Structure 1
Amino acid sequence: MTADGFDPDWPAPLWRKDLTTVYDFAATTLDGKDQPLKAFEGKVLLIVNTASACGFTPQYAQLEALQRAYGPRGFAVLGFPCNQFGGQEPGTANEIAEFCATKYDVTFPMFGKIDVNGDHALPLFDYLKSERPGVLGSKAIKWNFTKFLVDRSGKVVARHGSTTAPQALAVEIEKLL
């Protein structure tokens, strides 16, 4: 896999210039495996940039509660650790996995540490930001625990900032299931 999240050996559509859904992207899991997001096709997704040492870190508990409540109905939280905001995700992949498992009993998929802004941003996050800009049209993600809600067809339908509690999204999730 290249630094931008794509594997040159994968078949199209991963190399298309007209990427149209989140399923056209890929990422690396915390345990180092390449994961095409096509594996989540047909599910409602909540894609979140996470951090282990942030004031919003307790949101992991609510994210896990959503996963347990709605997972059986075709929903998944996808967590993407990011160290771009105050260095609040300094851990290695193993440390992040251990933290999530022991502190919050996280069962939803966690991916390798990424950038969400700048030249080295994971292409998935460039796509998410372009589909749902933030306040005043800004595409930049402002902090940890920004949440993107994706419908079953892979289209980004909502963006919520760090201060939005995951449980507050339950009604939106219900409508998409």
Structure 2
Amino acid sequence: MSALDFQANDLQGSPVDLKQYAGKVLLIVNTASNCGFTPQYKGLEAIYQQFKDKGVAVLGFPCNQFGHQEPGSAGEIGAFCEKNYGVTFPMFDKIDVNGDKAHPLFKHLKNKAPGLLGSEMIKWNFTKFLVKKDGSVFKRYAPATAPAELLDDIEKLLAE
């Protein structure tokens, strides 16, 4: 099983088959609009703009599980991201990343790339997962890791 074997709804509520991203390097992030890390949207969009024509997709998954920092509706989330950070990369419907109702994609990502001391829990918003072109999970990055710090790994995966 790979990250490409899942579906998720976009902000309009339409199902998206992640198989459409086969052959691309994926940067998958749980996001929030009212978080200290929210300005990372700008860095995520910069990565998307720099690499989208070279085979990289950034996928944003809003989550309200950490300090209730993503309380808005899908429409509000989309408008916020576009207006404040110029986000053009795909954003998905709000999901849970931890607990019994965690989205299956995030269950898979956490299992394949556990955090510190083997923990599968996501600690906060803007945890990032880099996924290889074949859908296998390459690495997990902490919320405090700036998107620009992933550039070397992204370029490495593009060259594979």
TM-score grouping bracket, smaller chain normalisation: over 0.9
CA RMSD of aligned residues (A): 0.4
Determine which structure has more spread, i.e. the larger CA radius of gyration. Answer: 1
2:112 to 117, 126, 131: 131
Q: CA deviation at 1:28?
A: 0.3
Alignment correspondent of 2:65: 84
Once residues 100 and 164 of structure 1 are traced to their aligned partners in structure 2, the CA distance between those partners, rounded to angstroms, is 20
Q: CA deviation at 1:103?
A: 0.5
The AA in structure 2 aligned to 1:27 is A
Once residues 147 and 73 of structure 2 are traced to their aligned partners in structure 1, the CA distance between those partners, rounded to angstroms, is 25
Q: CA deviation at 1:68?
A: 0.2
Instruction: Report how many residues are paired.
Output: 158
Once residues 26 and 40 of structure 1 are traced to their aligned partners in structure 2, the CA distance between those partners, rounded to angstroms, is 11
Q: CA deviation at 1:133?
A: 0.3
Once residues 78 and 96 of structure 1 are traced to their aligned partners in structure 2, the CA distance between those partners, rounded to angstroms, is 14
Alignment correspondent of 2:49: 68
Query: 4+ residue stretches of structure 1 with deviation over 2 A?
Result: none
Once residues 87 and 31 of structure 2 are traced to their aligned partners in structure 1, the CA distance between those partners, rounded to angstroms, is 12
Counterpart check, 1:117 vs 2:113: no
Once residues 39 and 106 of structure 1 are traced to their aligned partners in structure 2, the CA distance between those partners, rounded to angstroms, is 20
2:7 to 26, 43, 65: 26
1:57 to 17, 21, 38: 38
Task: Mark the runs of 5 or more structure 1 residues left unpaired by the alignment.
Answer: 1-19
Alignment correspondent of 1:157: 138
Alignment correspondent of 1:176: 157
Q: CA deviation at 1:105?
A: 0.7
Identity %: 61
Q: CA deviation at 1:73?
A: 0.2
The AA in structure 2 aligned to 1:25 is F
SS state of the match for residue 115, structure 1? coil
SS state of the match for residue 57, structure 1? coil
1:82-106 deviation digits (Å, cap 9, x = unpaired):
0000000000000000001110110
The AA in structure 2 aligned to 1:127 is H
Normalising by structure 1, what TM-score?
Answer: 0.89
Q: Which has the higher contact order (CA 8 A, sep 6+)?
A: 2
Once residues 22 and 36 of structure 1 are traced to their aligned partners in structure 2, the CA distance between those partners, rounded to angstroms, is 10
Normalising by structure 2, what TM-score?
Answer: 0.98
